[in-house]
Amino acid sequence: MQHLKILNKKEKKQITVILEEQYGITQELDLVFLLSKKNKIYIINNDLARIDLVKLKIDSIGMYLGELVGSQIRLSIEGSQLLGRYATKNIINLDKNITRLWMHGYDLELSAIKNAINNNSDVKSEMQGFVIIKSNDDYLGCGKLGAEKLFNYVSKSRRLRIIP
């Protein structure tokens, strides 16, 4: 059984501060945050948090939002879809052809996505660490900017299998 800790107000504030610093998300999130022993963050509705979960046999609960990695949060695909619309920085908008490569699980050379990074009006050269990946209005998850590559975090089971 997975043991999840319900975060108190102070701990929730730490998560929201990271989301604001990393992605520019200032939206008030009326959700309950849970943290696993492996630093995975889940969210549930406030009403569900009132149920005494100790008496129930539950393997998991909530929606997987992402993983706490050091002082950053790597959003899941669903986490990026939920919070991406509120993000104001560290967003890379890929064109159609590059998006196909991303969805097939390839890491992307920064030279190939240079226009996507330079067209970001808010951040440009200040981008670092985990970034939200999107294509037009679709949020595709998170990647990590390295020195020369954008590393893909789409799990193998969720990648497109057809050759690009």
**Among 56, 84, 112, where does a domain finish?**
84
Q: Does residue 116 lie within any of the structural domains?
A: yes
pLDDT at 23: 93
Q: Is residue 27 part of a domain?
A: yes
- What CATH number is associated with residue 25? 3.10.450.220
pLDDT in tens, 122-141: 434 567 789 999 998 999 99
Q: Give yes or no: residues 115 and 73 share one domain.
A: no
Higher model confidence: residue 1 or residue 17? Answer: 17
pLDDT for res 4: 80
pLDDT tens-place string over residues 72-82:
999 999 999 99
Mean pLDDT of the chain: 84
CB 131 within 8 A of CB 91: yes
Q: What is the pLDDT of residues 44-54, one digit of tens each?
A: 888 776 777 66
Looking at the fold, whether 22 and 80 belong to one and the same domain comes out as yes
What is the Cα–Cα distance from 151 to 101, expressed in whole angstroms? 12
Is residue 163 domain-resident? no
In this structure, are 99 and 75 located in the same domain?
no
pLDDT (average), residues 41-62: 75
Q: What pLDDT is stored for residue 2 in this prediction?
A: 58
Confidence tier at 113 by pLDDT (50, 70, 90):
confident
Q: Is the pLDDT of residue 1 over 50?
A: no
Instruction: Render pLDDT for 2-35 as a digit per residue (tens, 0 to 9).
Output: 578 888 899 999 999 999 999 999 998 889 899 9
User: By residue range, what is the domain housing residue 112?
Assistant: 89-158
Whether residue 68 is found in the same domain as residue 27: yes
Whether 79 and 94 share a structural domain: no
In a domain, residue 40? The reply is yes
Residues 80 and 106 in one domain: no
Domain boundary among 25, 58, 84: 84
Number of domains present in the structure of the chain = 2
Of the residues 52, 84, 116, the one at which a domain ends? 84
First to last CA, the chain: 39
